[in-house]
Amino acid sequence: MLLPARIAEGVRSGTISLAFRRWETPRVTVGRTQLTSAGLIRFDAVTEVFDAGELTEADAVAAGFSSLDALRRQLWPTTSPPDADVSVGDRGGAGTSTPGGEEAGLRPSRRGPRASKGGDHVYRVRLSWVGEDPRVRLREQVPDAADLAQLTAAVARLDAGKRSGPWTRPILEWIRDNPGVISTELAARLGREVAPMKADIRRLKALGLTESLRVGYRLSPRGRAYLESRE
């Protein structure tokens, strides 16, 4: 479940505590946490919403929407028959009128904005902020001898997982020498595709070795200490 930065920051600040999604079945597990740009967020509850009438203005505000109508339009976009005229209801939503003048009911569509994709069931997900990204603290920790041995073994496992051979050191050295360089240029210099390379950098980030900048990356204090130990 993707949480945009604005929503994640809202959960952290306490202004947002709900998210709504269209799914076939729930895609999150109650009690699990997710790492976001604003830190760790927990999924506290998941309940199905059977009808738009169940939603309230408080739900809309808690989910970061400007109004209840905006939330309903997000979750229940409408479709029109090819030969029908589209009329605007008193809430600003789109309805359909048949040639005989009778208004057709609003029909849910799988097409639409982020929250309305993916299924026929609407779910309310209750969210709470748990704490900071644990990688932030980790990357500031310069490893001692015991920690360095464990870190070296963890990096070796990453290298061993690639059929093409060791890959961690070239990326770490290039980031060290070229901080803040856009990922497409980094991929071109290393002769790699962007998406797989970024996935590899996330693995290094999980070990506290790198950190993301607005553009590109740089080594963390932990990453510099590790690389110096290998030279």
pLDDT digits 0-9 by tens, 8-36:
999 999 999 999 999 999 999 999 999 88
3-state SS, one letter per residue, for the chain: CCCCHHHHHHHHHCCCCEEEEEECCCCCCCCCEEEECCEEEEEEEEEEECCHHHCCHHHHHHCCCCCHHHHHHHHCCCCCCCCCEEEECCCCCEEEECCCCCEECCCCCCCCCHHHCCCCEEEEEEEEEEECCHHHHHHCCCCCHHHHHHHHHHHHHHHHCCCCCCCHHHHHHHHHHCCCCCHHHHHHHHCCCHHHHHHHHHHHHHCCCEEECCCCEEECHHHHHHHHHCC
Q: What number is the average pLDDT over the span 148-165?
A: 92
Average pLDDT on 122-149 reads 90
Torsion angles phi and psi, residue 66, rounded to 5: -75, -25
pLDDT tier at 220 (50, 70, 90 boundaries)?
Answer: very high
Q: According to the model, what pLDDT value does residue 80 have?
A: 36
**Is residue 192 predicted with pLDDT exceeding 60?**
yes
User: Average model confidence (pLDDT) for the chain?
Assistant: 83
Is residue 163 over pLDDT 50? Answer: yes
Q: Give the model's pLDDT for residue 228.
A: 93
**Which domains does the chain carry?**
5-77+112-131 (2.30.130.30), 83-108 (no CATH), 134-229 (1.10.10.10)
User: How confident is the model at residue 108, as a pLDDT?
Assistant: 45
The residue ranking higher by pLDDT, 39 or 96, is 39
- Among 100-104, 129-133, 155-159, 192-196, which stretch is predicted with the lowest mean pLDDT? 100-104
| Radius of gyration for the chain, computed over Cα atoms and rounded to the nearest angstrom | 24
Q: Residues 129-152: what's their mean pLDDT?
A: 89
pTM of the model: 0.60
pLDDT in tens, 81-126: 333 332 222 333 333 333 333 333 344 444 444 444 568 899 999 9
pLDDT reported for residue 117? 53
Confidence of residue 164 (pLDDT cuts 50, 70, 90): confident
Task: Look at residue 106 in the predicted model and tell me its pLDDT.
Answer: 42
Identify the weakest region by mean pLDDT among 33-42, 45-54, 71-80: 71-80
